[in-house]
Structure 1
Amino acid sequence: MRLSTVLLAAASLVSTVQGHWLGNIPHRGFAPFAGQANYPVFRNVKDYGARGDGVTDDTAAINAAINAGNPCNRGCTSTTMTPAVVYFPAGTYLISSSILPAYFTQLVGDASSPPTLKATANFAGFGLIDGNPYYTPVLNWKSVNVFFRSIRNFVLDTTAIPPATAATGIHWPTAQATSLQNIVFNMPATADVVHVGLFIEEGSGGLLVDLTFNGGATGASMGNQQFTARNLKFNNCKTAIIQIWNWGWTYHGLSINNCRVGIDISAGGSNNKLDVGSITVFDSSFTNVPVGILTAWTPNTNPDTAGSLVMENIALSNVPVAVQGPGSSTLLAGSAGSMTIAAWANGHNYAPNSAREFSGPITPNPRPATLLSNGRYYTRSKPQYENLPASSFLSVREAGAKGDAATDDTAALQRAIDTAVAQGKVLFLDYGLYRVTNTIRIPPGAKIVGESFPVILSSGAFFNDMNNPKPVVQVGTTSGQAGQVELSDFIVSTQGPQAGAICIQWNLATSGTPSGMWDVHVRIGGFTGTQQQVAQCLKTPGNPTVNPNCIVAYMAMHVTRQASNLYMENVWLWTADHDIDDAANTQITIYTGRGIYIESENGPFWLWGTGSEHHVLYQYQLANTKNIFMGQIQTETPYFQPTPNALVPFRPVASINDPDFTASCAGVQGNCAAAWGLRVINSRDILVYGAGLYSFFDNYSTACSTFSAGQTCQQRITSIEGSATNVNIYNLNTIGTREMLNRNGAQVAWFADNVNTFASNVAVYKSN
C-alpha cells in the first residue's frame, strides 16, 4: 500500500474519532414525566452559546444549558423527573461566577480531551462548580438526600484568582450514588495561597476517584458521614487533606507529594472532643511530606474511639514523622529515606490476644493474590470508551424501545442488547423508563452505558410470586457461563407489587480482566413511574399490617454459586425510605426481602464504595464464598422495623441461607429480629476496609439512635457464623445497635465500650 494511502486512512480514522463519542451521537433520551414533550435530556453547552475559547465569559451560557427545561434547582426538594446530561466539548471555558448544576444532573466533559473551567480574576461564588448552593443560611438541598449526581472529566483552574483571595474548585455536599471522577484542580502554589480544591461539609456519600490537586492551601477539605476516595493525587499543597468530621472514610491509592501535611484529622482536638470518627488508609504513598498524618488522638481521647486510624501498606519517602499527635508528639516515626508501614493502627482492637486500647503495629491482613494487582488491591475506573467513534454505539430507542414507563419494552430492549453484542457495539441506553414484563438477559460480550441513569423497570405478574422469584436483569443465562460484561450508569427497579423480583442476578464467570458494574444502582420505589409512592405506600407507624401492593422486590442482587471475577464500584442497592418526587420527601413503607447475596464458591469480588439499604432480612449476606474485598460499605435498617420485624413479610428460605431470627433470637433481649447489616456464613478471606452499619429508627422514631438513649434501635447488626476464617474488618462503625458484632451468636463488641462521635467504632477486628 502506498504511503499516501496509509496517511489518508489514518487521517480518516482520526476524523471519525475526533471529539468524544458522547458529543457526536444522536441523542434520543426521553423523560416521560418532565411535563414537556421535547424536554432536553442531553445538552451540549455550545448549543446554548458557550464558546470554550478561553476569552469569552461562558458562565451564563453554561447555566442556561443546565436550566433548560426548568429542572429541579433553587427551592426544589428533589426529583427524578428532569434528568440531564450537560456535555462540555474540549476547550477552555472562562467563568466569572459559579456553575450551578441542578438536581439529577450530570456534568460530563470530553473524556478524550477534558475541558478546562477557568475562573476569571474577579470570580464571585462559592466554588467554580457549586453542587449545593447556600441561597439562604442553609444548603439548597438537604445534603443527605442529594442522590444520583456526577461530575467527570474536567480541569478546574483558579490560578487567575489572587492567591490570598478565598476560592474553591468544587463545593460538593452530597449523598449516595454521587461521584467525582477524572478531575484536575489547578491552584496557585504560593506561600500566601488560601485556595481549596474540593470542599464538602455535610452529606452521606459517595465516591471520589481519579482526582489530582495541584497547589492550594488545601487539596480537599471534607466532612461527611462516609466516603470512598480512590486514586487521589496531591502535589505541592500546603495540606493535602483536612478531614473536618466523619464517621468513617476509606482512602486507597493516595499519592501525596511535596505537601507540608498529608492528612489532618486533628479537628476538635483543641477542646479534647474530636470530630473525626475514623479513617482507613491503604496502598498509598507519601513523598517529601514532613508530617504524614496529623492527629489529636491520645489514649484518653474524648469520645473513647474518636480519631481511629488504620493504615496498611503505606510507602514513605522522606517523611520524618509518619503520625504526629498533640503537642507535636511523634506517635509513629517516619524516615528521611524510604520505608513501608506494613500495618499500624490506633483505636480499639478486637484481634485475638490483643490489647483493647491500642496504638502501634498490627498484623497486616492476609491478602489473597487473586484480589491484587502489583501488590495492591485491584481497581479499575469506569470505562468511558473515549477511543471509540460514535459509530460504535447503538441506541436502544433507535432500536425501537420507548422508555415511557408504560409500553412493554421487553422485546425491543432484549433485541437491542443482542444486536449490540452481535455487532460488537456498545449499547447506549438513552434516558427513559423501560418497562419490562419478562427477564432481560445480558449475554457475554455486552457493554451497556446509560444516559443520566435510565431505568429498567420490571412490571406484572411474572415478577410477583414470592414463592417463584425471577430475575429482572440476568447477567449470563446460567451460573458459571463464561464471558466478560461492562455495565455503567443505569438503574434497575420495579413497578407496583413485585414480590418475586430479583433485580439483578449475576451468573457470569469471567477470566482475565474482571467484569464490571460502575454506577449501576438498584433503586426500588419512591419515584414517579414505580406506583410505589406516597399515594400507594404511605408509612403507617405503629401498624404492623403489610399492604400486599407494597411488597415490591424479593432481592436486590444475587451473585450465584459459579459466578466469579466481578468488580463493583459506586453501586447503591436502595429500597426507598421516602418519595423523592414528593415536595416534602414524605416517608413511605415498602418491603424488599434481601439486599445483596453472594454465594459464589470462588470469587474474587471487589466492592468499592457500595451501599445496601432498607431490605427486610439483610443488607449484605456472604455465604460459602471467598476472596471478597469490600471498601467502605454502608447500610441502613428498614425504618419500620420492628413493626413488623424481619420475619415479615418474607418467609426465611433455607436454600438461600436466609436468617431465621426465631431460633437465633431465642433468649436475646431487645429488638433482635431486625435486618442484619452484614452477615458472613462459612466464608473465608473476607476483607472489609471500612463499614458503616446504621440503624436510625424504631418504628419510624429516631429516639433510639443516640448514646443517651442506649442505642436501642436494634440489638445486633454484624454476624460472623460457622467456619468463617480470615474475616477481617477495619473501622467498623455502627449506630443504633447495642451488640456491634457477633461471632456464632456470641457478642464480640458492645456499643458502650466503643463510643465514637455519633457511631460506635471498632478500629480492628480479625476473626483469627
Structure 2
Amino acid sequence: MRPSSSMKLSNLSILIGLDLVTSVISQVSVSGGGTVLLPQPSIAASSTVKGAPFTNSSSTVIPSSTAHSTPYWLEQIPHLGVAPFSSNGSYQVFRNVKDFGAKGDGVTDDTAAINKAISSGGRCEPGVCQSTTTTPAVVYFPAGTYLISSSIIDYYLTQIIGNPNDFPVLKATSNFTGFGLIDGDPYGANGLGWNPTNVFYRQVRNLVFDLRGISPNSAATGIHWPSAQATSLQNCVFEMSAAAGTQHQGLFIESGSGGFMNDLVFNGGNYGARFGNQQYTVRNLTFNNVVTAIDQLWDWGWTYQGISVNNCSTGLNMSSGGAATQGVVSVTLIDSSFSNTKIGIATAYNATSKPDAAGGLVLDNVSFKNVPAAIQGPQGTVLAGDRTVNGWSEGNTYSPYGPTRAEGSMKPFSRSSTLSPGGYFYARSKPQYEHSSPSEFISVRTGGATGNGVTDDTAALNAIFAFAAAANKIVYIDAGTYKVSSTVFIPSGSRIVGESYPVILGAGAFFSSIRQPQPVVQVGYPFQKGIVEWSDTVVSTQGPTSGAILIQWNLASPANSPSGAWDVHTRIGGFAGSELQRANCPTTPDLTNAVNQNCIAAFMSIHITENAQGIYFENNWFWVADHDIEHPQLYQVTIYAGRGLYCESKVGNIWLVGTAVEHHTLYQYQFANTKNIFAGQIQTETAYYQPNPNALQPIPYIKKWNDPNFEKSCRNVTGNCANGWGLRIVDSESVHVYGAGLYSFFNNYNTSCSDQGNNATCQSRIFSLEGQNKDIGVYNLNTIGTTNMITRNGQDLASYKDNIAGYPEHITLFTTEGRGYSR
C-alpha cells in the first residue's frame, strides 16, 4: 500500500495531469458502427525470447468461432476450488461466462451475463468494498465473439482468462457506453471506486478488445486499468479504428502503484496506451499504425523491455507538462525497436527543464529504422534516427560521483552472454500449457489436500508434488488456503499452476525459532539440478512464525533454460486466516518500542541460496502487510518480518523482472557474494512503523546471514539511520538494475517526513554498497523520503537535495565503474 491517493494527488497534481484525465473521462459515451475481420495475434501464450528481438505482428483472420475452436484444458478439468473464509458456504470460484448465459455468438448482447459471472456470490465490488481476499474468482471465456454494449466491471481478486488457443473477442456495439470494454476501477460520485494504490491480485489475459464498431470520432477505450502490485495484463490484442481523426485508445491507466504487463498488441487508434502510474514494468508490447503508440502522462519510474513501434506518428511521448513542469520523472527503454515512425521519443528535457532532475531517459540497445528523429526535445531533434543506439541517456549521472547533468551517448551496462544471449535479455512469459490435455493435470484437492485453512495439508501437498514431478504431470493448486506445519518440497521437474492465488500457509512451532529458520516452501533440495515452473500462488504465514523462510530456492537450472516463477507472491499478515490482522497486530505509534512478539511473522520472504542459479522471476511481490486487507477502512497493522529477498547465488544468472519487496525490518533486496543479476523495475517501501522500533529490534543481527550491522554502520550518522535498506549489495559483481523505486513514506506512521519540501527525513540512507563490489549499475534510481540516495562503504555519494524531481528524487545513471559521455 502507498499513502492515500488524496495525499499523493496533492503532491503530484502537476505530474498526473488532472485536466487531461478529466477531459478523457468526460468522453466515455460513444457510438458508431461497422463490421470487421479480427486478427489472431502471432504471440504465443507462453512466448520465450532467447537472444532475439521482439517481432510480434498480427494478420487478419476470420473472427473467433466456437465451431472450429481448439479447447483449453482450463474449461475441461473439474473445478474444486474453495473460498474457506467466505461467508457464502456455496461460493463458486471458477466461472465460465457461458454458464451465466453468455452466448459468444457475435449477435447476442452478452454484457449482463458477463457482469453476472464476475459479480455473483457477494464479491468485492468497486465503490462498495475496499478489498478482500475471501472471494477470489476465475472468470473464463471460451472461444467466441462476445458482443457488449457497456463496460464489463472487474472485481477485486479476479483472474479474467480467455482461451489462448483461440482468443475470445470482446466486441463493442455501435452504441457502446462506458469507460473501457473492461473497466478495472469505475468512477463514481467520489472518484475511483477503489484507491488504485490498493488494487492488488488481479489479471486479464488472452482476449481481443475490438473497438472498431464504435465511430472513430467517438472516444473509446479497451481497458481502464488503475492498478497496484500483483496485477497483470498478458496476451491481449487491441483493435481500434485507424481512420483519420480516430479517438480510440487501447489501454488507459491514470494512477496506481503497479505493476506488470506483457505480450500486448495494439493495432490502429489515436493512442495505443496512455500511462500514468508510479512505477511499472512493461515487456513485449507491439504497436502498429497508431498515431501515438505510448503517451506517458506521468510516472516516477517505468521500465520498457522489448517494445516494437511500427508505422506510427510518435512512438513514446514523455513530454507531458512541457519543459517548465515535466510530468515524467524517468523512463528506461531496453531491447526495443522503432520503424517507419516520424518521432521515436518526444521528451521535454533540456538544459533548463524543471524539475531539475525529472525527465530522465535511458536507451540501452534500441534501434530506429526510417525514423527521422529518434529523440525530439522542446527545441527540435536531439538525436537523429536511422541507427541502433547502444547507450544514450539524459539526466543526472553519478559515476560514482556527481551529479553531472548529461544528455548524449553513454556506455551501457555490460551484458553476460547467459543473461543476454544473442544481445537481447532472455525473457519468457508465464506458461499457460495451452497445448496440454486435461489428463496431464492433477488437482491437489483430488489428491487429498483440503485447502480449508484448518486441516494440515503438508503431507498431501508433498505427496502430490513428488508424484506429479515423477509422472510428468502438471499440478493444479485449486483455490483455497493450504495450511502446512512443516516444509513443502517442490522437486525438480515440477510444473505448478495456481487457481486464483491459492495460499500455502505456514503455521506452528516448526516455524517459530528465529535462530533456526525453516522454509515454508523449498524449491529443490540443496545441490539439486533441474527445472521448475511455478505460477499464480501466494505463500504466507499464520500467527507468530519468526523462523519462517517463506520461499527457499535451492535448485540449480541451466542459464539457457532457467526455472521460472510467475505471479508467485509472498504475503505476510493482513488477511483472513493469517491471525495477523488489526485485532491481533494494531499499530502503536504512541507507545515507544512496544513490540508484540506474536506479530513477528517471518524470518525472510525469499532466499536464493548459494547453489541456486538460473531463475527467471516475473511479476512477484514479496509483501509484509501494512494494512488489513479485510477491514472496511483498511486500517494499518504492525507486523514484523526480518528480511525481504536475499540472493547469495554464487553463479547467479538471475532475472528479476517486475518485482517488488516491501516493509521488511532489515532490508528489502540484498545481494551478497553473487553475480550476473538483471533487476528491473524493482520497487521497495520501508516499514511504516520505523523508527519505532528501528531495525535494531525486534529482529536480532545474525552475522552468518550477512545481516546489516546497524549498530556499526549508524555510528555518528544523524537522522533515522537504522531503518531497513531498500537495496543492499555486498561483495558482488555485475549486478545491474534497470529502474528502481526505493521509497520511505512514513516515520512512525506519519507521512510528513516525505512531504514535498520537508527535506526527505524519513530515513537517512536507503541504498548501500558494501565491501568489494565490481561492475554495479543502476538506471533511473528514484527515491522518496531518504536524505541520502546512495551510500558506499559508509560514504554518502548522492544527496536528495541535488536530485529533486518533484515528489521523488531521481538519478538517471549510477555506476561504480565510471562511464564517459560523448555527443
* TM-score interval for Structure 1 and Structure 2 normalised by the shorter chain: over 0.9
1:352 shift after superposition: 4.8
1:76 and 2:129 matched: yes
Q: Distance in 1 between matches of 2:250 and 2:422?
A: 30
Equivalent in 424, 432, 436 of residue 384 of structure 1: 432
Q: Which has the higher contact order (CA 8 A, sep 6+)?
A: 2
1:749 match: 798
Q: Distance in 1 between matches of 2:596 and 2:783?
A: 30
Which secondary structure does the structure 2 equivalent of 1:126 belong to? strand
SS at match of 1:94: strand
CA displacement 1:107-162 (0-9 Å, x = unmatched): 00011111110000110000000000012241000000000010000000000000
Distance in 1 between residues matched to 2:403 and 2:659, nearest whole Å: 31
Shift of 1:353: 7.7
Conservation of the 8 A alpha-carbon contact between 1:276 and 1:757: no
In the alignment, the residues of structure 1 paired with residue 326 and residue 296 of structure 2 have an alpha-carbon distance, to the nearest angstrom, of 11
Match of 1:6 in 2: none
Tell me which of 606, 611, 617 is aligned to 1:562. Answer: 611
Cα distance, 1:529 vs. partner?
0.2
Distance 2:277 2:590 in 1: 32
Normalised to the residue count of structure 2, the TM-score between the two structures is: 0.90
Q: Are residue 330 (structure 1) and residue 378 (structure 2) matched?
A: no
Measure, in 1, the Cα distance between the counterparts of 2:403 and 2:812.
12
What SS is found at the alignment partner of 2:428?
Answer: coil
1:488 corresponds, among 528, 531, 535, to 535
* Partner residue, 2:260: 207
Query: Contact conserved, 1:17 with 1:390, CA < 8 A, in 2?
Result: no
Q: Name the counterpart of 2:736.
A: 687
Shift of 1:706: 2.4
Counterpart for residue 430 of structure 1: 478
Greater displacement, 120-129 / 410-419: 410-419
Which deviates the most, 344-353 or 170-179?
344-353
Choose the corresponding residue for 2:659, options 585, 605, 610: 610
- Please name the residue that 1:283 is paired with: 335
Aligned position for 2:16 = none
Secondary structure at the aligned position of 1:604 is classed as strand
CA distance, structure 2, for counterparts of residue 190 and residue 111 of structure 1: 29
Aligned to 2:164: 111
Partner of 1:662: helix, strand, or coil? helix
C-alpha displacement at 1:708, in angstroms? 1.3
Q: Does 1:31 align with 2:83?
A: yes
Q: Does 1:476 align with 2:508?
A: no
CA gap of 1:352–1:584, structure 2 versus 1, over 3 A, is closer
Alpha-carbon distance in structure 2 between the residues aligned to 1:36 and 1:314? 52
Distance 2:202 2:243 in 1: 33
CA contact (8 A) 1:523 1:574 kept: yes
Say which SS state the counterpart of residue 64 (structure 1) adopts. helix
Distance 1:344 1:354, change over 3 A: farther
- Name the SS of the counterpart of 1:374 in structure 2: helix
Aligned to 1:298: 350
Deviation per residue, 1:560-614 (Å, 9 max, x gap) = 0011000000000000000000000000000000000000100100000000000
User: Of 74, 81, 91, which aligns to 2:144?
Assistant: 91
Q: Which residue identity is paired with 2:81?
A: G
1:458 to 502, 506, 516: 506
AA aligned to 2:597 is P
Q: How many Å apart are 1:545 and its aligned residue? A: 1.4
Please give the alpha-carbon distance, in whole angstroms, between the structure 1 residues aligned to 2:150 and 2:422. Answer: 43
Structure 2: segments with no counterpart, 5+ residues: 1-66, 818-823
User: CA contact under 8 A between 1:16 and 1:389: conserved in structure 2?
Assistant: no
Using the alignment, how far apart are the partners of 2:497 and 2:573 within structure 1?
22
Distance 2:291 2:163 in 1: 30
Q: SS at the partner of 1:369?
A: coil
Change (3 A) 1:622 1:236: same
- The CA deviation at 1:438 is 0.5
1:182 is the counterpart of 2:235:
yes
Residue 291 of structure 2 corresponds to 238
Residue equivalent to 1:509: 556
Deviations 1:295-328 (A, max 9, x none): 111111111111111111111100111111114x
1:191 to 219, 244, 254: 244
Is the partner of 1:609 in helix, strand or coil? strand
Alpha-carbon distance between aligned partners in 1 of 2:679 and 2:189, rounded to the nearest angstrom: 39
Residue 17 (structure 1) shift: 10
What is the Cα deviation at residue 748 of structure 1?
1.1
d(CA) in 2 for partners of 1:373, 1:163: 43
Q: 1:668 aligns to what SS in structure 2? A: coil
| 2:184 corresponds to 1:131 | yes
What is the alpha-carbon distance in structure 1 between the residues aligned to residue 620 and residue 403 of structure 2? 36
Corresponding position: 1:317 with 2:369: yes
**Given the superposition, is the C-alpha separation of residues 551 and 59 from structure 1 closer, same or farther in structure 2, using an over 3 Å criterion?**
same
Count of matched residue positions in the alignment of Structure 1 and Structure 2? 749
Separation (CA, whole Å) in 2 of partners of 1:199 and 1:312: 26
> Which amino acid letter does the alignment assign opposite residue 287 of structure 1?
S
Q: Write the letter of the residue equivalent to 1:269.
A: G
Q: CA deviation at 1:330?
A: 1.4
Residues 261, 291 of structure 1: 8 Å contact kept? yes
Aligned to 2:625: 576
Q: CA deviation at 1:18?
A: 3.9
What amino acid does structure 2 have at the position aligned with 1:228? T
Q: Which SS does the other structure have where 1:243 is aligned? A: strand
1:497-536 alignment, distance < 5 Å:
497-511=544-558, 512-536=560-584
Q: Equivalents in 1 of 2:696, 2:541: separation in Å?
A: 22
User: Structure 2 CA distance, aligned partners of 1:752 and 1:718?
Assistant: 16
Q: Is the Cα contact below 8 Å between 2:688 and 2:745 reproduced in 1?
A: yes
Aligned to 1:442: 490
Paired residue secondary structure (1:537) = coil
Q: Could you list the runs of 5+ residues in structure 1 that have no partner in the other structure?
A: 1-14
Contact between 2:401 and 2:797, CA under 8 Å: does it hold in 1? no
Q: CA deviation at 1:542?
A: 3.2
Q: Deviations over 1:661-712 (max 9, x none)?
A: 0000111111000000000000000010000000000000000002411100
Quote the Cα distance in structure 2 between the aligned partners of 1:415 and 1:244: 50
Deviation per residue, 1:472-526 (Å, 9 max, x gap): 0001121x21110000000000001000000000000012410000000001100
Q: 1:293 to 1:423 in 2, by over 3 A?
A: same
The answer to whether structure 1 residue 717 and structure 2 residue 770 are counterparts is no
Contact 1:152 1:181 in 2 (8 A): yes
Distance in 1, matches of 2:400 and 2:796, equals 14
Q: What is the percentage of aligned positions where both structures have the same residue?
A: 55
For residue 722 of structure 1, report the CA deviation from its aligned partner. 1.1
